[in-house]
């Protein structure tokens, strides 16, 4: 590559995304420091502590990101199935050789180094779905749907076998990708409704749900009042959800045995661990709620500092932000994420290559699902599902995989003038 070419290459990289990425990673690092701050290890570079280690993960992640940018973008197209295959193998292998952590067998342990293959399966799946859907298949065909379902379902199933329900659930995000690529909106709506109805029927009183459904239906009817065709669909959907809610709770309470109920409660996050999911969520809400409008300030969050919140540097890292920076800080963080997501969609839509576009939507969907589920769980909107907040949560595997996920898109985008097949 000539000097001129190199210059052009760097210029073609989308700087807003890079800036958002670096901002989020640094926010994560500072908040990990605040969350597990220990006076005897006051240096943010202390490698014995999570914050010191996170710096190493950040440095290596940047290096990996750079490597991704330097690889020829054809590589990701050509080897998409290869990468997918390797991650599947790793997912299988971890079932046999993995180490149990928190009840799921999803980690490889090599010395003090731990690796979670499920994290890497995310970008591999995004890539392979992009490759498959851009290969000229027609979404309307049943075989296409089945194949895509298989591509997504395979890693999802393997991860479920590890006992990592949270990571498996993130694959639901691909519904958005499929919708963008032509899957009927009805599938999206019905799938979503079933899921919501199921969880709602377990978590809330029936009456509250039925009222909500009525309100939502009314709003939808008003919005779509000009599209006569949709009105019966909305009404049917509402009736369906209402029936399901009543049905689920009937089956759950009257047909199932107690141990079944326990398992399902466990699955949806009710009574999930020894101290009770109620404890975690309650403490998490207390931490965030006590931040009030502007928060308690850096390192002044008592709830996170004194360990009232569990998993505070990983899955519950948002508590630290909520407590120390309050509502303002929380909104800024969500704003940064939203900016990133919208930017990714903007980038995706400017791709000439459909592989790049599909992949871009994959990235956005995965990040979006993590954002919603993770923050939603800390504020009691979503059952406790143990997945990280992208770029913010402590952990090498997740930071690396999200970095690779994002940087492949940046690479593909930088190369958008050359159509990748």
Partner 1 sequence: MNIFFERKYIIQAILIFTCFILIVRLFYIQVIDDSYFLSANNNVLRKLTVYPARGIIYDRQGKIIVQNEPVYDLMVIPRQAKNLDTIGFCKLISIDKNEFIIRINKARKFSPYKASIFAKQLSARAYASIQERLFDYPGFFVQNRTVRRYPDSVAAQVLGYIGEVDENRIKKTNNYYQIGDYIGISGVEKSYETVLRGQRGTKIIMVDALNRDQGSYEQGKYDTTAIAGEKLISSLDLRIQKLAEKLMRNKKGSVVAIEPSTGEILCFVSSPTYDPNLLVGPERGNNYIKLLKAPEKPLFIRPIMAQYPPGSIFKAVQALIGQQEKVITPESRFPCNGGYSIGNRMVKCEHNHSPLNLNESIAQSCNSYYCWLFKKLIDQGKYGSVEKNYLVWRDYILQFGIGKKLDIDLPNELGGLLPTVGFYDKYYSSGHWKSSTIISLAIGQGELGVTPLQMANTMAIIANRGFYYSPHLIKAIGKDQVKKETYTTKHLVKIDSSYFNVVIDGMQQVVDHGTATYAKIADIAMCGKTGTAQNSHGKSHSVFVAFAPRNNPKIAIAVIVENSGYGSTWAAPIASLLVEKYIKDSISRPAYYIDRLLNADLIHPTFTETKESH
Which residue from 54, 73, 303, 415 is in contact with partner 1, where contact means CB under 8 A?
Answer: 303
9 CB-near residues (< 8 Å, 6+ apart): 1, 414
Binding window for partner 1 (CB under 8 A); candidates: 116-124, 197-205, 252-260, 287-295? 287-295
For residue 266 the two structure tokens come to 């466990």
Helix (H, G, I), strand (E, B) or coil at 113: strand
Q: Which is nearer to partner 1, 156 or 176 (CB)?
A: 176
Between residue 230 and residue 269, which ones bind partner 1 under the rule CB under 8 A?
none
Q: Which is nearer to partner 1, 54 or 330 (CB)?
A: 330
Which residue from 206, 327, 343, 414 is in contact with partner 1, where contact means CB under 8 A?
Answer: 327
Between residue 47 and residue 76, which ones bind partner 1 under the rule CB under 8 A?
none
| CB of 277 vs partner 1, minimal distance in Å | 13
Q: Which is nearer to partner 1, 65 or 357 (CB)?
A: 357
Report CA 101 to chain centroid distance, whole Å: 20
Q: How many residues are present in the chain? A: 421
Separation of alpha carbons 151 and 138, rounded Å: 16
138 CB-near residues (< 8 Å, 6+ apart): 144
Q: Which is nearer to partner 1, 30 or 309 (CB)?
A: 309
CB-count exposure of residue 136 (10 Å: 0-12, 13-18, 19+): exposed
The residues pairing with 113 across neighbouring beta strands, listed in sequence order, are 110
Using the rule CB under 8 A, is 359 a contact of partner 1? no
Virtual CA dihedral for 177, 171, 285, 42, nearest 10 degrees? -100
Between residue 140 and residue 199, which ones bind partner 1 under the rule CB under 8 A?
176, 179-182, 185
Contact 86, 156 (CB under 8 A): no
The residues pairing with 115 across neighbouring beta strands, listed in sequence order, are 108
| CB of 177 vs partner 1, minimal distance in Å | 9
Which residue from 54, 116, 283, 313 is in contact with partner 1, where contact means CB under 8 A?
Answer: 283
Task: Name which of 121, 144, 143 is nearest 134 in CA terms.
Answer: 144
> What are the strands of the beta sheet with 99-101, ordered from one edge?
99-101, 104-110, 113-115
| CB of 99 vs partner 1, minimal distance in Å | 26
Task: Name which of 218, 348, 166, 375 is nearest 284 in CA terms.
Answer: 375
Using the rule CB under 8 A, is 308 a contact of partner 1? yes
| CB of 55 vs partner 1, minimal distance in Å | 25
Using the rule CB under 8 A, is 126 a contact of partner 1? no
Q: Which is nearer to partner 1, 157 or 276 (CB)?
A: 276
Q: Which is nearer to partner 1, 1 or 274 (CB)?
A: 274
Using the rule CB under 8 A, is 299 a contact of partner 1? no
Separation of alpha carbons 90 and 74, rounded Å: 24
Q: Which is nearer to partner 1, 163 or 376 (CB)?
A: 376
| CB of 224 vs partner 1, minimal distance in Å | 12
Using the rule CB under 8 A, is 368 a contact of partner 1? yes
102: left (phi over 0), alpha (psi -120 to 50) or beta: left
Using the rule CB under 8 A, is 393 a contact of partner 1? no
Using the rule CB under 8 A, is 290 a contact of partner 1? yes
Binding stretches for partner 1 (CB under 8 A): 176, 179-182, 185, 274-275, 283, 285-293, 302-303, 305-308, 322-323, 326-327, 330-331, 334-335, 337-338, 341-342, 345, 348-349, 354, 361, 364, 368, 371-372, 375-376, 379-381
């Amino acid at each position: 590559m000539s000097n001129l070419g190199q210059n052009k290459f760097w210029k073609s990289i989308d700087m807003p995304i890079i800036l958002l990425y670096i901002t989020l990673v640094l926010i994560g690092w500072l908040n990990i420091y605040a969350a597990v701050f220990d006076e005897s290890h006051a240096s943010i570079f202390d490698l014995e502590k999570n914050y010191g280690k996170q710096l190493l993960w950040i440095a290596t992640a940047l290096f990996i990101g750079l490597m991704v940018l330097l690889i020829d973008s054809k590589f990701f197209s050509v080897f998409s199935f290869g990468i997918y295959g390797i991650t599947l193998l790793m997912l299988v292998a971890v079932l046999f050789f993995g180490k149990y952590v928190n009840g799921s067998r999803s980690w490889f342990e090599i010395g003090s180094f731990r690796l979670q293959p499920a994290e890497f399966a995310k970008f591999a799946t995004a890539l392979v779905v992009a490759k498959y859907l851009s290969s000229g298949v027609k979404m309307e065909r049943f075989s296409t749907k089945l194949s895509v379902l298989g591509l997504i379902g395979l890693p999802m199933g393997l991860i479920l076998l590890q006992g990592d329900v949270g990571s498996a659930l993130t694959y639901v995000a691909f519904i958005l990708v499929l919708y963008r690529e032509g899957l009927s909106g009805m599938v999206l709506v019905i799938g979503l409704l079933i899921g919501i109805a199921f969880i709602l029927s377990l978590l809330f009183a029936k009456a509250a749900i039925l009222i909500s459904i009525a309100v939502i239906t009314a709003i939808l009817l008003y919005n779509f009042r000009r599209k006569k065709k949709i009105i019966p669909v909305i009404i049917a959907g509402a009736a369906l959800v209402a029936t399901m809610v009543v049905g689920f709770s009937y089956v759950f309470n009257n047909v199932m045995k107690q141990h079944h109920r326990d398992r399902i409660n466990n699955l949806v996050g009710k009574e999930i661990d020894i101290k009770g999911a109620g404890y975690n969520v309650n403490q998490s809400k207390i931490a965030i709620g006590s931040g009030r409008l502007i928060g308690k300030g850096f390192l002044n969050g008592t709830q996170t500092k004194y360990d009232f919140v569990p998993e505070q540097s990983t899955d519950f890292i948002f508590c630290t932000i909520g407590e120390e920076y309050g509502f303002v800080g929380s909104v800024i963080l969500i704003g940064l994420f939203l900016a990133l997501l919208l930017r990714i969609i903007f980038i995706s839509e400017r791709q000439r290559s459909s592989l790049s576009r599909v992949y871009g939507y994959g990235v956005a969907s995965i990040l979006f699902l993590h954002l919603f589920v993770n923050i939603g769980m800390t504020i009691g909107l979503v059952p406790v599902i143990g997945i990280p907040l992208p770029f913010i949560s402590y952990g090498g595997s997740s930071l690396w995989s999200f970095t690779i996920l994002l940087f492949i898109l940046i690479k593909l985008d930088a190369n958008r003038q050359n159509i990748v097949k």
